[in-house]
Amino acid sequence: MSKQDGSSRQVTTGPVDDSGSPILHVDMDAFFASVELLKHPELRGKPVIVGGRSGRGVVSAASYEARRFGVNSAMPMSRALMLCPNAVVLPVDGKAYSAMSKRVMAIFEQITPLVEKLSIDEAFLDVSGARRLHGSPAEIGWMLRRRVHEETGLTCSVGVAATKFVAKVASGRAKPDGLLVVPAADTVAFLHPLPVSALWGVGAVTEQSLARLGLRTVGDVAAMPPAALERAVGPALASRLLRLAVGDDPRAVTTGREEKSIGHESTFSHDLTDPAEVRRELLRLAENVGVRLRKAGLTGRTVVLKFRYGDFRTVTRSRTLAEPTDVARRIYDEAVQALPELMPEGTRVRLIGVRAEGLGESGAGLALWDPDEEWRGAERAIDEVHARFGTGLVRPAALVRRGADRVSTSKRKDPGT
């Protein structure tokens, strides 16, 4: 059985049929902020924000006390401090978060070898083969939450369901520090009351398109005639939304254990200070990464952006994608999201790097949709032109202008080298 409190939080509190729900999604609660609170226990109960405070800094994470004021990750820090002026702002400590992530993931891998790490603070687990040793999926979920707290001092939320999509939605509903089991037979009943934004692939623009049709819940989408939905959002997205609306997600948990990457980086003869120049360089690097991914028949799940400043400080930021990609435009769009944090006014940039991590074979994982179909088709057509007539004949308009002089370009290792 499950219960729902006064907010949208929903948790399992008693016996429930989890026999057909072997997929767990485990998500750490306010991970960066929680790690900081382990270092600063005197700040517990206070609103804490992790991120850059000067210039155009953004919020990397916020404690739940800060979230009650409307503070969210990726929000400009200036806006966050207007909403919560009494917040304590702490700098990002990437090494601490990475070390803690390894400890948490090691706990997961002691339960099952089928662990798919999505990002530094979340993972899917397939516990089908772990029942004999560790109990039912719900019992494993309870055990994981207890072990994570006892061994790290952190809390996590767990969704248990028949598919990856539903498990991820369930963990979000259980936050913070909760567990929610969705019996396979109750999948549709669980999904249909939820807002359409719960469906993967529904962003602000798509949500507005659906609202114009009077579709506000997942159930509304499921009941919509396919032809009418296709006219509103196109046949590909309509098909995907209709499948998700009934919990149809055939993707398996894939381990992706090999830590391989494909990337490019450039060092400049003079420091870059113009954001437009930096964006052009990001686009050029993303184009190179995309070409190499497609040549290798691979896709990347995580985009990593590396900056080295004029004073030789080096920082990296990573963004995990909903679906793996080999499309340069997607890689660029993800990388450029970090610019407001990494390049406040007056910044001097000596080196930029872009790489794709979490590599897998193209077409693996049974993706529910391809959000980059049009860009992928265009880029593959350009690949064919380059293969026949040589590189450089077709390129993005933004790269026709010559960017900053580069004194060196280094490549990350290809898989197997």
With H, G, I as helix, E, B as strand and everything else as coil, classify residue 351.
strand
Would you say 155 and 145 are in contact if contact means Cβ atoms under 8 Å apart?
yes
Residues, the chain = 417
Backbone angles phi, psi at 7, to 5 degrees: -90, -160
Which tokens is 53 given?
Answer: 């405070």
Residue 333 known to bind ligand: no
Does the active-site annotation cover 150?
no
Would you say 216 and 195 are in contact if contact means Cβ atoms under 8 Å apart?
yes
Rounded to an integer, what is the distance from CA 397 to the centroid of its chain?
Answer: 29
Q: Which of 101, 137, 94, 93 is nearest to 119 (CA)?
A: 101
Q: Is 396 exposed, middle or buried (0-12, 13-18, 19+ CB in 10 A)?
A: middle
d(CA 153, CA 202): 35
Q: DSSP states of 55-97 as a string?
A: TT-BEEEE-HHHHTTT--TTSBHHHHHHH-TTPEEE---HHHH
Q: Which of 307, 299, 362, 297 is nearest to 328 (CA)?
A: 299
Residue with tokens 């900053």: 404
Q: Is 388 exposed, middle or buried (0-12, 13-18, 19+ CB in 10 A)?
A: exposed
Residue 121 known to bind ligand: yes
Sign of the Cα torsion 43, 44, 46, 52 reads positive
Which among 65, 116, 122, 287 is annotated as catalytic? 122
Active site residues: 122
Residues at the annotated binding site for Mg(2+)? 27, 121
Residues at the annotated binding site? 27, 121
